[in-house]
Amino acid sequence: MAFILKELIEVFDYHIIYDLADALSVSRGTVANDLKSIRKELKKYNAEIESVTNKGIRLIADEFSIRLIYLHLVQDYFPLNYISHNSIDYMTQIKETFNLTNETISWLIKSIDIVVGRISCNQVLDKPIPNYINTVSDSDLFQEIIYHIETRYQLSLSVYDKDFVSFALNLQAINELPSKSNQADDITKYVFNQMIDSINASFAVDIDKDIFYKEVNQHLHYLINRTIFKVVPNQIFFGELKRKYPFSYAVSQIAVKSIGNSLKIVVSPLEVDYLSLYFEMNLKGHKDYTPPKVAIVSNTGYGTAMLIRKQIERVIIGNIQIDIFTNQTYHQMDDRDYLAIFTTIPLESVRESIPVIHIATVYSDQWLINEWQNIYTTNIQLFETRLNNVLVLPDTLDSYQAALSWMIQRFEESVTLDTSYRKTVMNQERLHATIFQNGLAFPHGINKGTESIQMMLGILSKPILVNEIEVKGIFMLVIGQELDPKTEKDLVDIYDIVFRLANEQDFQTSIESFKGKEDFLHYLIERRIKI
């Protein structure tokens, strides 16, 4: 499907089905079946395929729709053709300077590649993106990005092309990026008023419009932009909010339907979950006002809790307090204080009225895997400084525990390890081995009394079978007990990269060729462009 769409987009003329079949080395019937699926998918983008006898088929869509189609249905399947290494290095720099997420940088890189490619084919955006709200157009960061694009590629971007580039910065709150727009107020107020009218027509509820607008307007602004660009929020609630907050959830369903009607576009059902939290906070007595609180309980390390916290903070905007507990300390928690509890373990004695969102484990949950699978940038310097070594393990090691013991011993020879680290990691991996389906293991633990992070990659000469999975490589992570903000950020970035590598088919085949640290770093540098 991606190849056919790429051909239809890049050559905006009629295509013969036989030619497409030859290019794909498949039958005409296979192409015809793919076209059925494509036609169905294109309806979501206000686009269609026109078929003319003796001419062939061609794509009918406006420029904005074409870019969205390429962004979501084509780009992930092919190398980036237009953005340069220089630009990707620049994106890595601004990620650090402005504390941007990998997801934001990924969208930025994709949008720049599309804009440069389309303009090089003389295809520009010549009209506004309907209802899109660009609140960062005057920010220093966005001006820097536009300056880089126009000077690096010798282009002059239209205001609408600039809007397309900006969407990555307008999907969620970015603390370091001030946003301001009168247009945002106009659009969100209109959508908000329509939404409240629809709710009042369905339910007899008492919503103070002025107070609720202050609470939800920024969330609506980002929801609108996500919907326009068809960026779907991650699923982290898995039906818990619908079960525990049925009324707020029902109100949110009405609200989301109203938003879609106002924008004349389909809103993702996943937005219902996030919006229902705002209704719950407003309808259930938070008007006094104490900031709502969310608890996170994790037994798989601080990094896991940070990932969950990061996701909540990115989508639930506003004054919300997030507390983190371990499996040893959560008993001290008064669950009556919390709007919801996220946990990686079963919890005892939690009130039925409190939503408990279970995240089975950070290594298997699809929403976390999806979080990292499209990351395009890798902080090479992070691995240069934090990666202790890449070692090929002796082929005499015949068990996972033996491999772990060998790697811990190598760590002990080069860094100061607390005596409890070996015991903790060995016991943790014996009880619940942290192994991805593709054969990459990720053992990690706290190194008491230290303030740094170190890691090691072990390559197995012969794969070791663990729980019916062939382990080919082991990323071992040593986490300092007391981390400063910069090191905490490095820890989350390490999780980012390991998750991406664990889901990358090419890494599974390349890992066997690594002989040392330089081979691994070279792989990361090359993959920045080729993902």
| Of the ranges 253-257, 317-321, 479-483, the best mean pLDDT one | 253-257
Residues 19 and 70 in one domain: yes
* Sign of the alpha-carbon dihedral angle for 330, 333, 334, 339: negative
pTM value is 0.64
Among 170, 203, 219, the domain-final residue is 170
Per-residue pLDDT reduced to its tens digit, 164-215 = 999 999 998 776 666 665 566 789 999 999 999 999 888 777 788 998 998 8
Q: Answer whether residue 531 shows pLDDT above 50.
A: no
Q: Which of 72, 377, 372 is nearest to 234 (CA)?
A: 372
How do strand 56-60 and strand 48-52 relate by DSSP bridges? Answer: antiparallel
Per-residue pLDDT reduced to its tens digit, 18-62 = 888 887 778 888 888 889 999 999 999 999 999 998 888 999 999
Contact of 171 with 206, CB cutoff 8 Å:
no
CB atoms within 10 A of CB 512: 13
Number of domain units in the chain? 5
Q: Residue 82 — pLDDT band, cuts 50, 70, 90?
A: very high
Q: Answer whether residue 314 shows pLDDT above 70.
A: no
Q: Which of 422, 505, 415 is nearest to 453 (CA)?
A: 415
Judge whether 104 lies within some domain. Answer: yes
Q: Answer whether residue 432 shows pLDDT above 50.
A: yes
Q: Cα separations (Å) of 190 from 27, 180, 261, 472?
A: 51, 17, 12, 55
Judge whether 423 lies within some domain. Answer: yes
Residues 47 and 100 in one domain: no
The position carrying tokens 């996170």 is 296
Residues 134 and 90 in one domain: yes
Buried b / exposed e over 177-203, threshold 16 CB at 10 Å, is: bebebeebeebbeebbebbbebbeeee
How do strand 469-480 and strand 453-466 relate by DSSP bridges? Answer: antiparallel
Enclosing domain of residue 341: 293-371
* pLDDT value at residue 122: 92
Residues 414 and 484 in one domain: yes
Judge whether 89 lies within some domain. Answer: yes
| CATH number of residue 450's parent domain | 3.40.930.10
Distance, CA of 49 to CA of 61 (rounded, Å): 9
In the chain, pLDDT over 70 holds for what percent of residues? 84
* pLDDT value at residue 458: 94
* pLDDT value at residue 375: 35
